[in-house]
Amino acid sequence: MGSISLKNVKKSFGEVQIIPDISLDIKDGEFVVFVGPSGCGKSTLLRLIAGLEDTTAGTILLDGEDMTKAPPARRGLAMVFQSYALYPHMTVRDNIAFPLKMAKASKEEIDKKVEYAARTLNLSSYLDRRPRALSGGQRQRVAIGRAIVREPKAFLFDEPLSNLDAALRVNMRLEITELHQQLKTTMIYVTHDQVEAMTMADRIVVLNAGNVEQFGSPLDLYKKPANRFVAGFIGSPKMNFVDGPEAAKHNAHSIGVRPEHFKLSKTAEAGTWKGKVGVAEQLGSDTFLHVHVDGLGLMTIRTDGDQTFSHGDDVYLTPDQTRIYRFDAAGKAI
Amino acid sequence: MATAQTRTLSRIMMAPAVIVLLIWMIVPLVMTLWFSFQNYSLINPMMTGFAGWANYLYVIGDPSFTQSLVNTLILVGGVLAITVIGGTFLALLLDQPIWGQGILRIIVISPFFVMPPVAALIWKNGFMHPGYGMLGHLWKFFGLQPVDWFNQYPLFSVIVIVAWQWLPFATLILLTALQSLSEEQREAAEMDGANAINRFYYIILPHMARSITIVILIQTIFLLGIFAEIRVTTGGGPGYASTNIAFLVFRTGILSNDIGAGSAGGVVAVVIANVVAFFLMRAVGKNLDA
Amino acid sequence: MARNVSVQTRIGFTIAAWAIALLLFSPILWVLLTAFKTEAEAIASSPTFFPQTFTLENFGAVQDRSDYFKHAFNSIVVSVGSTLLGLIIGIPAAWAMAFAPTKRTKDVLMWMLSTKMMPAVGVLIPIYLIFRDLRLLDTLQGLTIIMTLINLPIIIWMLYTYFKEIPVDILEAARMDGAELWNEIVHVLVPMAVPGIASTLLLNVILAWNEAFWTITLTSGRAGTLTAFISSFSSPQGLFLAKLSAASLLAIAPILLMGWFSQKQLVRGLTFGAVK
């Protein structure tokens, strides 16, 4: 079991308020991603759950039990750190066995579980190496192995992929997701990368300045962003925003259109925006056009990779009327 | 960045160290202060009671105090001058491309590991003795009259011994500082047309300034307390010619059994050391990113 | 370090450096050579460089006269004992300051350092009297306590600078893995800090071994360390130069070897981490 509830959790470091007031309910077996720009308090929130920091106020319940004041060792959670935090003086085997040794498990049990974890993570042939003789991805796996053997109530991941190169990151992303399918244990995963959040999560918590902007499934967040911040943060490339008279036409303070929700043509039509092509980023499958729209500024448009554009071409944009997001003056979605 | 529990634990973990050091600092110091205002002599146990400033007046008024204070300053100043200038020179030399640098480093640092009484006795008997010391032989070789160093130049002789012990320390630290100067910075200066003297003055010296300060301060702390070298060579003599404050306190308090006056001298020594300590703390503290 | 200089310049620098280094080393060389000479050869009016008649009798004589082994034993007990005691007190304190720092940590560290600045003579008399009353004068216990106290600030400082280099993540990982404080320190921190702890140990053994104020003032015969042993040679008695050398060599050789091994870490230790 591994349900996690935060009730009115607050955290300040001295005068600085990091988390003003957060309440969350994470269900058993869920894969929840905390995502947000750097400094939004997502890592602090994870450390509060882990017990590595004290809450200033509020309660943290694990499986309904109040753990607010419990030390990390007693919470039954496992954590994978950004730096992996492997014990450099121990072999891979001893690293993975360490939590079991701390739990005073028997020798046979330790061996059995270490072997199992090593097999699951493809580490069997590295068991007698030291962490410094491993590659980044292997170190990552050892860190995960060390977490698995504890059979924790929940796994906490603190930006675990940010030290890996791009290709490996995609691989590990899949492996962690696969692991979650196998283990069905609650996982909380912190990242600043919205692609990781979208691809891995059952539900995403979007954090900004210590506040939960929205908590929902990836598609919910994409389709029904609660506010301008979430709309801008989720989705790649970013949503285009327009203020002023053009927004007023839709009875809103500002409107947003995703790059993929435009119709593009080379001839003028009713209700279209006229612009000049700036940079065209051609990815093969798609092309991202940066268009200087008259009176509205720079916009990003996604088109298929077959059309070609050159710098300075005149283009006409038609936003898909059913997919225009409208926001009030406070940035809330209408 | 820690929990209340770790903070509580950390207080418990620090307690033994803090408590023993607190006792070590306060108890003897308070006792020294107390004794310094008492009539307290182990030779004359009848003489007791509050002495007021009498011990201080006795110690400070005695010509031996003035002489010891001057000797202390000459000793510290002389050793500092030799070790800092010599150390800078030696560090620059060892930093040049030379053969056997690693072995040289070890040879040069060696005197620092020689315990003070051994250092003093080697110099006293093996080198500075007018009859069979090596310097005596050298003087005779040039047809000169050997010098009886400890009788004729007692303080100078002590300075030589102490400087020999501390020159390696200064050299090693300044060499370490010198080697942390990036090769690129040097090359950039060379490209800019700076000659060797300019490079030393504008690039190397400013880079070493902090290390030189630290060398001076740390040595001063140790040099103020020079004791064994004096004890085994001159015994502070002839007269008080090579007695420093540390040795004077030992002479008054332990050898003459005048606890009151010895303590007053001790308090004076503490005051002097505190002035130096103040500056050292500031220099080291700047480097501390706690 | 690949600076381009001509071979002549390099030879010049090498000769100059070696000449000065050997000059500085000459007193130690003198001890080394004289220790194996006969007394007559040692004071001969035309001095020899290498011993003409190589002899070991000086070492035997020194042992008979002042009992080297007893003093060496005392030195080992006091220097190693005080260092181990200092590490036992110092490791937890350094852990606290490096990994759970507060606003006052810096002040505490500075204050600890300041106790080191107190001149020994300032407290000699009370310590002498306290030791006399507690019957600690001339005992190994008393000397070990004093040596622990004077070196404790250096031990804590050195450990602190080494511990600061260990990422706190790893200790936190241990906490997440269910390790209580004791296990965190014994199984994770200490093994990771072995090089730092070793050089702290080495430097403090050296400092305690060479300490020559308290060892001389607080001992007379039983608990005398090698500094006291060597001081007993300060008043010449007849032919003694070779014996003095033998005694000196015995007193400094162990520490000289240790010093050569630890000279790299020495700088950092002696400057309280201010120069690395």
Type of residue found at A198: M
List every span in chain A annotated with CATH 3.40.50.300: 4-232
Whether C257 contacts C142, CB under 8 Å: no
Cis bond upstream, residue B238 (ω within 30): yes
Residue B2 with chain A: CB contacts under 8 Å? 52-53
Neighbours of chain B (3+ CB pairs under 8 A): A, C
Indicate the number of domains in chain B.
1
Is B197 an 8 Å CB contact of chain A? no
Delimiting residues of CATH 2.40.50.140 domain(s) in chain A: 238-327
- Is B123 inside a domain boundary? yes
CA atoms within 13 A on the CB side of A10: 11
Query: From the candidates C26, C125, C155, which should be mutated to test the interface with B, based on the most B CB atoms within 10 A?
Result: C125
Residues of A in contact with C178 (CB under 8 A): 73, 99, 102-103, 150
Judged against a pLDDT cut of 60, whether residue B290 lies above it is answered with no
Domain that holds residue C139: 67-232
> Is B246 within 8 Å of B227 (Cβ atoms)?
yes
Look at A86 and C170 and tell me if their CB atoms are within 8 Å.
yes
**In which region does residue A294 sit, left (phi positive, over 0), alpha (psi from -120 to 50) or beta (all else)?**
beta
Chain B interface test: which of C121, C185, C230, C265 (most B C-beta within 10 Å): C121
Shortest alpha-carbon distance between residue B123 and chain C (Å): 7
Domain-embedded: residue C260: no
* A54–B1 CB contact, under 8 Å: no
Q: Provide the domain limits for residue B219.
A: 63-286
Q: Of A61, A17, A57, A59, nearest to A41 (Cα)? A: A17
Count of structural domains within chain C = 2
CATH at B244: 1.10.3720.10
Q: Do C178 and A89 touch (CB under 8 A)?
A: no
Instruction: Name the minimum distance, in Å, from the CA of B73 to any CA of chain C.
Output: 15
Does residue C256 form part of some domain? no
Per-residue model confidence as pLDDT tens digits over B42-97: 777 766 777 778 778 887 888 888 888 889 889 999 999 999 999 999 998 888 88
Q: Look at A53 and B3 and tell me if their CB atoms are within 8 Å.
A: yes
Q: State whether C74 and C100 are in the same domain.
A: yes
- Is B96 in Cβ contact with C13 (below 8 Å)? yes
Identify all chain C residues contacting A156, using CB atoms and an 8 Å cutoff. Answer: 176
- Residues of B in Cβ contact (< 8 Å) with C144: none
Q: Is A70 in the B-facing interface, judged by CB distances under 8 Å?
A: no
H helix count then E strand count, chain B: 14, 0
Q: Has residue C268 been placed in a domain?
A: no
The sheet carrying A297-304 orders its strands as: A262-265, A314-319, A273-282, A286-293, A297-304
What is the ipTM metric for this complex? 0.83
pLDDT at B267: 85
pLDDT of res. B289: 47
C142 and C215 inside one domain: yes
d(CA C51, CA C38): 8
Kindly list the residues from chain C whose CB atom is less than 8 angstroms away from the CB atom of residue A51. Answer: 175
Is B156 part of a structural domain of the chain?
A: yes
Residue B228 lies in a domain: yes
Residue A265 neighbours by CB under 8 Å, 6+ apart: A272, A315, A316, A318
Determine the pLDDT at residue B166: 93
Contact C122 B259 (CB under 8 A): no
Contact partners for chain C, using 3 or more CB pairs closer than 8 A, are: A, B
Say how many C-beta atoms besides its own lie within 10 A of residue B163's C-beta: 21
Alpha carbon distances (Å) from A200 to A19, A28, A188, C13: 25, 16, 11, 65
Phi/psi at B225 (5° precision): -100, 15
Residue B54 resides in a domain: no
- Flag whether residue C114 sits within 8 Å of chain B, measured between CB atoms: yes
Task: Output the CATH code of domain A238-327.
Answer: 2.40.50.140
Say which residues have a Cβ less than 8 Å from residue B245's Cβ, sequence separation at least 6.
B68, B69, B72, B224, B265, B268, B269, B272, C121
Q: Does residue C237 belong to any structural domain of this protein?
A: no
Residues making up chain C, counted from first to last? 276
- Which has the closest alpha carbon to C86: C214, C186, C208, C225? C208
Whether B252 is in a domain gets the answer: yes
User: Average pLDDT, stretch B236-263?
Assistant: 81
Place of tokens 């070790």: B83
Structural domain contains residue B48: no
Q: Give yes or no: residues C36 and C71 share one domain.
A: no
Q: Assess whether C137 and C34 both reside in one domain.
A: no
Sites in chain A below the pLDDT cut of 50? none
DSSP assignments along B39-70, one per residue: --BSS-TT--SB-TTHHHHHHHHSHHHHHHHH
pLDDT tens, B209-247?
878 887 887 788 788 888 888 888 887 778 888 888 888
Of A152, A161, A333, A158, residue with least CA distance to A250: A333
Name every chain C residue with its beta carbon within 8 A of the beta carbon of A163: none
What is the pLDDT, as a whole number, of residue B82?
Answer: 95
The answer to whether residue C248 sits within a structural domain is: no
Which residue is closest to C190 within chain A, CA to CA? A89
- Out of 3.30.70.1060, 3.40.50.1820, 3.40.50.300, 3.30.70.1350, which CATH number does the structure's domain A4-232 have? 3.40.50.300
What is the rounded CA–CA span in Å between residue A191 and residue B282?
42
Kindly report the nearest CA distance between residue B113 and chain A, in angstroms.
33
**Do the Cβ atoms of B2 and A53 come within 8 Å?**
yes
Tens of each residue's pLDDT in chain C, 276 residues: 445 668 888 888 889 999 999 999 999 998 888 888 877 777 776 777 777 777 788 888 878 888 888 888 999 999 999 999 999 999 999 999 998 888 888 888 888 877 877 778 778 888 888 888 898 888 889 999 999 999 999 899 889 988 988 999 999 999 999 888 889 999 999 999 988 898 888 888 988 988 888 888 888 878 888 888 887 777 666 557 888 888 889 889 888 888 887 777 777 666 666 665
Tell whether the model's pLDDT for residue B124 goes beyond 60. Answer: yes
